[in-house]
Structure 1
Amino acid sequence: MRLSVLDLVPVRTDQTSGDALAASTQLAQVADRLGYERYWVAEHHNMPAVAATSPPVLIAHLAAQTERIRMGSGGVMLPNHAPLAVAEQFALLEAAHPGRIDLGIGRAPGSDPVTSMALRGAAGRDDTDVANFPQYLDDVMALMGTEGVQVAVPRQRYILKATPAAASVPALWLLGSSMYSAELAAAKGLPYVFAHHFSGRGTAEALQAYRSRFQPSELASEPRTFLTVNAVVAETEQEAAALMLPNLHMMVALRTGQPLEPLAIVEDAEARDLPPQHHSLVDAGLARAVVGTPQQAADQVRELAGQFDVDEVMVHPVASARRGTDPATSPARDRTLELLAKELLD
C-alpha cells in the first residue's frame, strides 16, 4: 500500500493565509518524514477557505522545505493558463528538484465564472479553452520534452522549448471526476487519477473505462491510476467525526449555492444547526470519506483500495481544529497522517 497526500491549503476562521501556508508546510514535512509517496496541491481561486491558488509557487516552496517526497499539482487547471507557461513552470521545478515533480492537469476552472474571466484576462480566453483541452495537453507534453516542439513559421524551422536543456521531465498525470477524463487519459496513454474525494460517483465506471480502453504510450506502457479520498483520523471515532464536521458544512454550502466562508473551528460547527434537507449531503460526505480510529481508518483505506483495485490512495486530510489551536498549525491534519502511517506504512 502506498499513501499520498492532497492539500488545498485550507484557511480556518482563526487563520491568515500565512498561517494556513505555515500549517501546510508542517503537514508536508510530516508526510515526508513518515514515508508518504507524493504530496499534491490543488488550484482553486477566490475561495475564502482555500489558499492553494498557484500550484507551481506552492510546489517550489514545499519542495524546498522537504527532502524526498514527490511534489506535484492536483492539479493545474489547464484552461486557465497558456500551455507554454505551465510547461515552463514545471520544467523549472523539475530542474530544481529532479525526479520529485508531478504535473497533474485538470480541465475544470477551479473557480466561479466571474473569477475565471478575471483570471484569463483580456486575451479572449473563454469556454473554447475547455474544448481545446486535449490539444493544450499535447502542447504541454511536447513543450516539456527534451527536443521541444517545431512551430510552423514561414521560411524557417522554429523550435520552442519550455527550458533550454532539460535533463528530465515531470511525471504527467491527468486528473478528473468524469468519464470524459477517463477516456481521454486512456486514449493518450496517460496515468490517471479520479477525484473520488470530490465526486464519489462513477468512480468504478471511470476506472474501468480507463483500464479497458488504455492505449500504451511513451509515458505509460500500462494503465496507472489511484484515487483521492477525504480523511480524518483520531484516537476516537467521535473525535474524528467532530473534526470533520466543519468540512462537511463547507461542502453543503458549496453544493447548495450558499456564500462560502473560511473553514469553521470545531466548536462553531457543532453549535450550528443545519436544515433537515441538508442532512443527506452530510451523510453522503461521511459515506465517501475515511473517518474513525486508526484501525477503522486503515480498514477503510484497504477496503477502498481493494474495491477499486488500486495500490495507492491519496488522502485529503480535512480535519479542522478546536478553539485555542495555534493558528500556524493544523495538529489534527498532522495527526491524521501520523495515525494512518502507523497502521499502513510502518
Structure 2
Amino acid sequence: MKITDSKQIATYYKALVEKNENFVGIFFVGVKTTSIFCIANCRARKPKLENVTFYTTFKEALSEGFRPCKICKPTQNANQAPKEVEKAIELVKQNPKEKISDYRLKENDVSAKVVRNWFKKNYGMTFHAYQRMYRINTAFQELQSGKQTTETAFEIGYESLSGFGYTFKKIMGNSPKNSKTDTEKTTVLISRLTTPLGAMFVCATENGICLLEFADRKMLETEFADIQKRLNAVILTGENKHILQAKKELEEYFEGKRTVFEVNLEPIGTEFQKMVWEGLHQIEYGKTRSYQEQSEHLGNPKAIRAVASANGMNKISVIIPCHRVIGKDGKLTGYGGGLERKKWLLMHEDKYNPNKEESKNELRLF
C-alpha cells in the first residue's frame, strides 16, 4: 500500500538518504520527477522529500506507473539473499549431511540472526528447518539406493535412530524402512530464485519442471497441495539438473537473450488442462492471442471459459506463456502473477522480439 503516515515517511526518507541496507525490501520509493522507483540502498542521487512516494510492495509502484531503477534494480535486489545468507546456503550445499550451527555460521563471519530473519521472511521457515529438509532429502536418496538406515542416520548428524525416524516420517510421510521399498513415492525438489519481477519458487521432479510461480501468488499453497496429491509426492528443498537449467534459461530470458525455453517440463493437471497448456507453447515470443483465438486454435471455439480457466491453473509461469493470452479487445486481463507483471512480460518480449517487424501485436498496454 501507499505509505501516508508522516512519521513512517520521515523514517523511510532518512533510510533512503543514508542508503540503509536494513530497509531493503521494506519499502519501495517512487520518484515523481523521473517516474522511476528504487530500494533503500540505491546509489543514485537522492530526490527531495516532496518528490517521493513510498510503497510497501514494488507491484504497487509498478501499478502507479513507475519504472524500475536501472541502478539498484529494485524488483530483483529487494528479494536477493544478502551475502551472509548466500554464504549460509552454500555451507549447507557443501555439507549436505552436516548440521550448520550458529557457532559454525559465526566462524564463517555470518550472523545467525540475519540468516534466521531472512529465511522466515522469504521461505516461511527457519534456517534449521531448511537444513533438516535438505538433510532428509539426502537421506531419502541414499536409502533409495540401498544404504542402511543406521549408517545414513548417523552420517547426517542424528545421534539416535528414533530421532532420525521421527523427523524422516514427519517430512516424508513414511518411515525410513518403508521408504526403501516405496518406489511409488515421488520427490519434488523446490528452490528459490530472484528475477526482475520478484522472487519465484521453482519445483522439479526427476522428469522436469512442474512448478514455477511468483513467491507472492495467492494460490501457491493450493498448487503445492495439488502437486503432492496428484504425484503422491513430498516436496523437499534442493536442486536437480532441471532446476539448474531452468534458472540459467530464465536468467537468459530476462536479459533478452532467450526467446525459447528448452528445459524439460512435467506439467501437473488434467488432460484438458495439459492440452490447453500445450497450446500456449504455440504462441510465439513477442505475439499474443485472445482467449477466443486460443479456443479456436484448440478446435473448440465455444470453450472460451474452460480454456480461460485452464490458463489460470497453469503452474509453470513464464515458461508456459499464459501471459501471452489477452482479451478480445486487445486489453490485458487475468494473470495469477498480477497484471503489472503481465504487462512487463509482454513489453519485455516486444522489446527483444527478433521478428518485431513481422509482429502484428495490437496489445493496448495503457
Check whether TM > 0.5: no
Quick check: which has more Rg, 1 or 2? 2
> Higher strand fraction: Structure 1 or Structure 2?
1
Higher-RCO chain (CA-CA 8 Å, sequence separation at least 6)? 1
Instruction: Specify the TM-score bucket, using the shorter chain as the normaliser.
Output: under 0.3
| TM-score, normalised via structure 2 length | 0.23
